[in-house]
Amino acid sequence: MILFFKKLFLTVAVIFTATVFVSAQNQLFIPPVLTGTTFNLNVQTGTQTFYIGTTTPTYGINGAWMSPTLIVNKGDSITLNVINNLPVATTMHWHGLHVAAMNDGGPHQIINASTTWSPTFKVRNNAATFWYHPHGEGKTEQQVSKGLAGLFIVKDAAEALINLPRTYGADDFPIIVQSKSFDVLQQIAIATDMDTALFVNGTLNPFLNVPEQVVRFRLLNGSSLRSYNFGLSNGQNFYQIATDGGLLDSSISLSRLKLSPGERVEILIDFSGMLSQSIFLQSFGSELPTGIYGADTVGMGMDSIHEYEENYLNGIDFNLLQLNIVAAIANPVTTIASSLIPYNPINSSSATNFRTIVMDTLRLLPMDQPNLAEGPFGMNNQTFHMDSINEIVYLNTTEVWTLKNKTLIAHPFHIHDIQFNILEKSGLPPSPSENGWKDVVLVMPGDSVKFITKFETFADNITPYMYHCHLLHHEDDGMMGSFLVIDTFNISTTEITQSTSVKIYPNPSGINVTVEAMQLYGSTITINNILGKEIFRVMAASSSQKINVRNFADGIYFLKVMNNNNQATIKKFIVSKN
């Protein structure tokens, strides 16, 4: 019955949509560009009229709504002045960029109202489409939905040598797709599953005039929840040229491309010979597999999302952007570059450390019955805490992370600081579309994904980076963890202490070391060697734990105690057997 009503409503909705597209189309907003090495980002409040007769409060950067596109060159040192003119605190995260933790704009780099945060860093990433958005503790969805999200495009010399469209707003277009919820007063609402308003670059019912030649789209899924299955209404293929972190090895001809929240791709579309035609960029939601937000079903029975069936966008195909083909512009690109940038993934046998992140529901109270589709969710049985550290990584180590999804909804996992290579997804090597540098990967219900990465360049004993689900409800509800990257060569005699009074003796030692602390019981003790490789692990069974080091080679080691509150203490010790 519900299904019947849904389909009936769909028919009505489709007719309605068609009417809207004829009568109430809006030219796609192309966010203005900022370039150079100093960027002033004035974060401010504003209003927009999305629906006739109502005023919706919004946020914007250097304007009332949405955020400019930043274009930078690899190798440049840049300064970003984030001027917070909101009445509330914010943060600004450079999603995908390899920067020091203190410049990352995670929840710890709070920018209070009426203050300015000015990180300076060198652009180290390869040419790619990144983005930037707020990341405040529990505040990401609200601030992103209200308009704070922009592209952060990196250019480099290798990309410049390839015959690709690259004139912003002429043959190279930002395409930020977001679904939003509005409440009865037409105010942007969060933590709802009624995200039926579809925006591209902050424009409702948009059209774009595209020249009759090869055009590049930089697609970002900036939605809070919804995944899209992109395709063109006339069935023509397009060509994927990049993943999150840069260009692919070679372009891939596709008719469909799935993108989950936080992910980006770059595609080429060949409009040659199509003058005066109009087609649509669509999402073929009817083809999304069960479990992905946007598919016909997510979860089952008691483990379902409230109102999911009532959201008419779920499980249907819909238009996102009308493309009107107009006359070619000067110096058009007319061919699809086939070979792009050689892909040299990290050698999987070089990994020395392995970790597993389990995505699962969290029981907050003993009698709670957590919903496997709706949450609350955690990672490794924890929710995010500002003063905890969940993982400690040693600088210059190569690690394999395994992500396991024990819930009934697909979660897009994102990690800061690094780009990774997917090794395995659903038991298979990555598809060509994901066989490149990534910083977000969608983990299907019941599935596990393995990726490899190397933690390089930046270490900080205090400020962590984040990893989290990029469904913004989930992130805000605490489906996030933190990790420190620590430079073992930089730890003086005994340091990094988050919890008090962990003792380790004797030091140096040749036979045993004893670890002692008041609340040691139940803590995890690990020992890593000077290369960061974990060589020993035990769960402390009392307040004093003796560890046999007779089989350790002489040298320097790092002993880490992670207590039950995820507070870490790291002590350096020396094994010397003479």
Question: Interface residues for ligand C2O in 75-94 (CB under 6 A)?
Answer: 93
DSSP secondary structure code for residue 126 in this structure:
P
**Residue 418 interacts with Cu ion (CB under 5 A): yes or no:** no
**Residue 474 interacts with Cu ion (CB under 5 A): yes or no:** yes
Judged by beta carbon distances under 5 to 8 A according to partner kind, the member of ligand C2O, Cu ion, none in contact with residue 262 is ligand C2O
Judged by beta carbon distances under 5 to 8 A according to partner kind, the member of ligand C2O, Cu ion, none in contact with residue 95 is ligand C2O
The residue from 72, 316, 471, 570 that contacts Cu ion (CB under 5 A) is 471
Q: First and final CA of the chain: distance in angstroms? A: 80
Residue whose CB is less far from ligand C2O, 93 or 218: 93
- As measured in angstroms, the least distance from the Cβ of 106 to ligand C2O is 7
CB 121 within 8 A of CB 77: yes
Question: Interface residues for ligand C2O in 355-374 (CB under 6 A)?
Answer: none
Residue whose CB is less far from ligand C2O, 242 or 252: 242
Residue whose CB is less far from Cu ion, 3 or 364: 364
CB 412 within 8 A of CB 471: yes
Query: What does residue 9 show for φ and ψ, rounded to 5 degrees?
Result: -60, -40
Binding mask 299-318 for Cu ion (x = CB under 5 A): --------------------
**Residue 108 interacts with ligand C2O (CB under 6 A): yes or no:** no
The residue from 6, 43, 58, 95 that contacts ligand C2O (CB under 6 A) is 95
Distance from C-alpha of 449 to C-alpha of 376, rounded to nearest angstrom: 21
**Residue 469 interacts with Cu ion (CB under 5 A): yes or no:** yes
Distance from C-alpha of 257 to C-alpha of 218, rounded to nearest angstrom: 13
The residue from 468, 474, 560, 571 that contacts ligand C2O (CB under 6 A) is 468
Burial 477-500 (b: 16+ CB within 10 A, else e): bbbbbbbbbbebeebeebebebbe
For Cu ion, the nearest residue by Cβ is: 469
Judged by beta carbon distances under 5 to 8 A according to partner kind, the member of ligand C2O, Cu ion, none in contact with residue 180 is none
Question: Interface residues for ligand C2O in 116-135 (CB under 6 A)?
Answer: 133, 135
DSSP class per residue in 214-269: EEEEEEEE--SS--EEEEETT---EEEEEETTEEEEEEEEES-EEE-TT-EEEEEE
Taking the CA atoms of the chain, what radius of gyration do you get in angstroms? Answer: 25
Q: Give the chain's length.
A: 578
CB 418 within 8 A of CB 454: yes
Question: Interface residues for ligand C2O in 390-419 (CB under 6 A)?
Answer: 414, 416
Residue whose CB is less far from ligand C2O, 131 or 552: 131
User: CB burial class (10 A; 0-12, 13-18, 19+) of residue 87?
Assistant: exposed
- Token couple for 11: 């028919």
Dmax (CA) of the chain: 86
Interacting residues with Cu ion (CB under 5 A): 411, 469, 471, 474
Interacting residues with ligand C2O (CB under 6 A): 93, 95, 133, 135, 262, 414, 416, 466, 468, 470
